[in-house]
Structure 1
């Protein structure tokens, strides 16, 4: 099926019966159906006499390929020179000059101008997962997992994981760090990174690597124990410390603590300091999963606001997801907000915490006491979308990356009567 013009649709119609023809699965009737306005065509209005045409040979397409060709033909009619699917915007970031960065499936990184035009795009087999803009906003670290393999002749080849440094001027890859394993990035405001291994046996992962603000990876690495996505995911923004989750040595998913990694301790060696248990409830025995968060507060009064969920063998139960504000001193909970679905992203400032959930809901909480200021389902053109990433670029303005590949620039008001 293909559009020949805005009025003419070419289709190949299968024969009504395939029992008497050996060519029934390789041939069909070529038909061109014309309508002046296809947006106003009633169901069943194509008549049988319109479906007769010449008998031709054709290659039967898969459903995916047929859909792709159909969308491409519509894009050409709409004046778009090319079309490709967009999926899963894993991270978004706003630059001081008004540009917007994103990484997503199939794209290492891309930059959009303030007027909404694409400035550059760096394609990639799998795409970026995390963005960390370096000081001066000349380049950006892009974290790329390598889970897919391809066949080269008879050999199955998997590319090594990549931590790439990409120019913000034109999207060119300036270099990469030889990590050797898939990583999750933990950042600190002064530019330090922790590259924590996410691969292999979660009981015995690779030691974490430290990256200095200059981009150097020292030989000394820090053993933080095993990592898995549900238990140890803990991306914290605006932090003066490198915060990660660490569990027991042989069973790292148990009894997790929030720990801080100091790149240079008293003996110029990295030091891991325990801060407080991930679970603030000492009256009950619970198994918590990690989630996104930010540091808030000024001076010496700093708190941690982070999301997570309570594990249950029956799955995620209603009210078992949460956002909590905690003292960075002893870890005491100042307030707790509960939800029915896990948070996918979180950001905010001293006034408002914005939380995206995998249900498609966006919730604004007052930073001081956790009061719900407003909540709403995220929609684009009346259609629901699911937020996957989120960043606050200035008061009242959010960038949101969605599961279906959109980058949304949203103005928000912080009032309960919104």
Structure 2
């Protein structure tokens, strides 16, 4: 029993499963081509889809029997902390949640059609930008991606003050003075605006900037505390080649090349972008960012990395290599905090890249998959997970290492705080 080769084959076959038969007189020896796919696969009728209403009713009943209220939540793609201790989250079906950082109580919520993916708190801490996106749809042999929407949300009460509709799917890039821009991410190359940068207000009447196509997976470059609007730019016809970190001035639109993403030119590697942060500490201004080395063989040992680079010239100051890609990164003048798709949190020294602490993230003994991370006040980190929770981790004042031992049982749909964090 095999899956159809691709989604486009569902229409001619009328199903997502195929049956085939491979016969041999002698199965004791392996020979070249012995498992080559035969022609004439037989479509296998798809079974009835699962009744999600039955599953929801069963889970809800079990929770009620135990005095719990069950609410379905999925992937917390962004988390941010406010100066007063509140915590913001963005996730599937929710543009923005606002939580009390001390009690884990939900204060207000901004529901959306689609998913909240990025949060930017504007200077002054009174307003946040939230980028939302509905899921892509498959139609007539093509994946259809609707344009992104950016909401301006009042952080006092959760009221949506303005709605900015992009002309395409996009990612949000900002700088510390509040200027922001959207980069078109239409990687299918069907849009004439693919890769263009459009500025947010007050510069949104300016001409868009053609920055070149957005290469899927490779061009994401989400830098916290950046003094400039930073992007990755490759060759126009082959955007994955010769990728540079560039700064785009707002509102003039002037593009300045800063440094190549590949810091070791003789190796000629194809690097992917990632999340990062701008620092200006005792060793001077720098970018600390994550990324990965592309390999046709799939993930390879030490092919993912976190690197600190002098700003704006790009010389590497330290390099930390790992086996799994970074999911999110934040930093202060002393430490760099990174969560990885392996479920591990690692704390690095900001000046030297030396590992200060590392911890596998678990709740009640079960591993979780982190999607987002942010510092949320002195001595605390918040980590958003794939299953819709937010872990609030206290940090030891003496070692500055996260205390993740002995998580309390999380409140369903809310904030999960580790022991000693006020749960």
**Structure 1 residue 223: Cα displacement:** 1.1
Q: Which runs of 4+ in 1 moved over 6 A?
A: none
Give the Cα separation in 2 of the matches to 1:150 and 1:178: 22
Give the Cα separation in 2 of the matches to 1:370 and 1:158: 39
2:159 to 128, 152, 172: 172
TM-score (norm 1): 0.78
1:210 aligns to what? Answer: 199
Equivalenced residues, count: 348
Give the Cα separation in 2 of the matches to 1:340 and 1:298: 28
**Structure 1 residue 276: Cα displacement:** 0.6
1:260 to 243, 247, 271: 247
Structure 1 stretches lacking a partner, 5+ long: 1-59, 152-156
Deviations 1:304-352 (A, max 9, x none): 1100000011011011000001111321111100000000000011110
Larger radius of gyration: 1
Structure 2 stretches lacking a partner, 5+ long: 1-47, 404-423
Q: Where in structure 2 are the equivalents of 1:184-263 lying within 5 Å?
A: 184-202=171-189, 205-212=194-201, 214=202, 217-263=204-250
Give the Cα separation in 2 of the matches to 1:105 and 1:178: 19
SS in 2 for 1:72: helix
Greater shift, 273-282 or 300-309, is seen at 300-309
Greater shift, 326-335 or 234-243, is seen at 326-335
Partners of 2:147 and 2:165 within 8 A in 1: no
1:103 aligns with 2:90: yes
1:3 aligns to what? Answer: none
Determine which structure has greater relative contact order: mean sequence separation of CA pairs < 8 Å that are 6+ residues apart, divided by chain length. 2
1:382 aligns to what? Answer: 365
Distance 1:132 1:261, change over 3 A: same
2:315 aligns to what? Answer: 332
Partners of 2:94 and 2:111 within 8 A in 1: yes
Q: Where in structure 2 are the equivalents of 1:11-410 lying within 5 Å?
A: 62=50, 64-80=52-68, 83-114=70-101, 115-148=103-136, 160-202=147-189, 205-212=194-201, 214=202, 217-264=204-251, 269-298=252-281, 301-410=284-393
Partners of 2:347 and 2:401 within 8 A in 1: no
Give the Cα separation in 1 of the matches to 2:145 and 2:137: 4
SS in 2 for 1:74: helix
Partners of 1:109 and 1:127 within 8 A in 2: no
SS in 2 for 1:184: strand
Give the Cα separation in 1 of the matches to 2:59 and 2:391: 22
Distance 1:398 1:64, change over 3 A: same
**Structure 1 residue 358: Cα displacement:** 0.3
SS in 1 for 2:131: strand
Distance 1:324 1:300, change over 3 A: closer
SS in 1 for 2:227: coil
TM-score (norm 2): 0.77
Partners of 2:214 and 2:239 within 8 A in 1: yes
**Structure 1 residue 182: Cα displacement:** 1.1
